[in-house]
Amino acid sequence: MALSLHIALALVLAAVALPAKGDARVTRIAIDVPPYYAYPRPPGGAAQVAVHPAFDRLLASDRADDVARARDLIAKDNQNVMPTTLMVLAIRLYDVGLRDDAVFWYYAARDRYVTLARVADMKAPELAGVDAAMKAFVSRAGPAINGYAFCDVQKQQSIYRDALKWVLQNPYRAMLDPKVPARAGDREENLRAAMSGLMASAAKERDTLSSMPNVEEIQRQRRDSGADVKYCWRS
């Protein structure tokens, strides 16, 4: 699971590569990632969510206040909340119009997963499904969420800094459980190495996006592809 600027921009460019003519605003993230999530059918109904018994009902709702309630509960007590749960939270926040929150939790989910993958053995049978699901979430939900996030590069960087700070301050404690299959090395040391890597990647991204020519090139590509029409609308 890559975190570099190159991957972030690849997701943005994947989001803007679709032709703009005839495209409606992307107001929902219509994806299925079994067994964790299935998009509401018909739209406006309940999603199928199976990520955490305490949050599934709230996350399945199409009411913004229910999804916000799930967000608040997760923010309050999250040490053992899996990255898949955070990813579904991000998707549902986007769907109900809380798109800045969606960006935050998407980045938090992605980065929490990176720390997990640095500590745990994601090739182990017990974890292979989580690994496949997270990669599916990133490839399928990432274009829409990054498509919106990069409407405003300065705000995207601010949200990303906040999300990274949250990940560093709220480590996923379950991966330190001896029952969880682990990669070689000390778990705590591997976690610290993962966090250092996240900070280094964020610093590179920040440096690149502090260059106005780089930002202008992103903006040009978005305009040319119609991404701003798809993702930068206001409700």
Q: Provide CB contacts within 8 A for 110, sequence distance 6+.
A: 1, 3, 83, 87, 134, 138
Examine the pLDDT at 37 and tell me if it is beyond 60.
yes
Q: What is the pLDDT of residue 8?
A: 52
pLDDT, one tens digit per residue, over 146-176 is 999 999 999 999 999 999 999 999 999 999 9
Residue 219 lies in a domain: yes
Residue 232 lies in a domain: no
Measured CA to CA, the distance from residue 135 to residue 188 in angstroms comes to 24
Say yes or no to pLDDT of 198 above 90: yes
Instruction: Please give the tally of structural domains in the chain.
Output: 1
Give the residue-averaged pLDDT of 42-65.
92
Instruction: List the domain range (segments joined by +) for residue 65.
Output: 5-18+25-227
Is 233 a member of any domain? no
Instruction: Give the pLDDT score at 213.
Output: 93
Are the C-beta atoms of 114 and 1 separated by less than 8 Å?
yes
User: Residue 213 class from Cβ within 10 Å (0-12 exposed, 13-18 middle, 19+ buried)?
Assistant: exposed
Q: Write the CA distances from 192 to 81, 124, 142, 210, integer angstroms.
A: 19, 22, 26, 27
Q: Is residue 168 part of a domain?
A: yes
Asked, for residue 88, whether it belongs to a domain, the answer is: yes
188 inside domain:
yes
User: Is position 189 within any domain?
Assistant: yes
| DSSP-assigned letter for residue 182 | B
77 is a domain residue: yes
Would you say 117 and 1 are in contact if contact means Cβ atoms under 8 Å apart?
yes
